[in-house]
Amino acid sequence: MMSADLTALLGRIALKDRDAFSGLYRETGPKLFAVCILMLRDRAEAEDALQEVFVRIWQRADTFAGTGASPMAWLYSIARHYCIDRLRVVRRPASTIEEAADLVDPGHNPETVAVISSEGKRIDRCMEQLESERAQAVRYAYVEGLSYQELADRFNVPLNTMRTWLRRSLLKLRECLET
């Protein structure tokens, strides 16, 4: 589905259009479920998390227009932040993207599963281009949900150094993924 279509759906959801909400769920549910399962490593928890993510989308759709983000980036952000909050309570280690893709509901069509797996491999290839410590810091921050301070303590570097590591690493990842 095109970005403009998702934006239109979110606009209708902001007006509490249930049909638009169902359409958004059909189109984005498998991708958001993959994010949840990747981060939480438990299918039942990921299913619960996905339900909560969509509740938040329903409640916050009216705030989307002011973010300036692409619709999928906004949706991924909601899913990621919810999972991070949940991980802070449970603190489970994350898996690789390939393992998460293997756990995706077999009821989803093979094309969707292939796209998710392919994206995971692209991300893994780009992560391999980062220095080992920086790649670990990115995983701890964005998969396990560690704070900047927790990362700085773990890697024994100043807080601002950790922020710089993460910012530069994300820029390198974005550059790699755009090529």
Q: Where are the domains of the chain?
A: 3-118, 129-179
Yes or no: say if 34 and 13 are a contact pair by the CB < 8 Å rule. Answer: no
The Cα–Cα gap between 128 and 131 comes to 8
Question: 100 versus 32: which is more confidently predicted?
Answer: 32
- Looking at residue 70, what DSSP letter applies? -
Map tokens 């095109």 to a residue: 2
Is the CATH number of domain 129-179 3.40.5.50? no
Residue 152 CB: number of other CB atoms within 10 A? 19
59-109 per-position pLDDT tens digit = 988 888 756 678 888 898 899 999 988 888 765 454 555 555 555 555 555
Yes or no: say if 82 and 52 are a contact pair by the CB < 8 Å rule. Answer: yes
Least confident range of 62-71, 153-162, 164-173: 62-71
Is the CATH number of domain 3-118 1.10.1740.10? yes
pLDDT at 53: 93
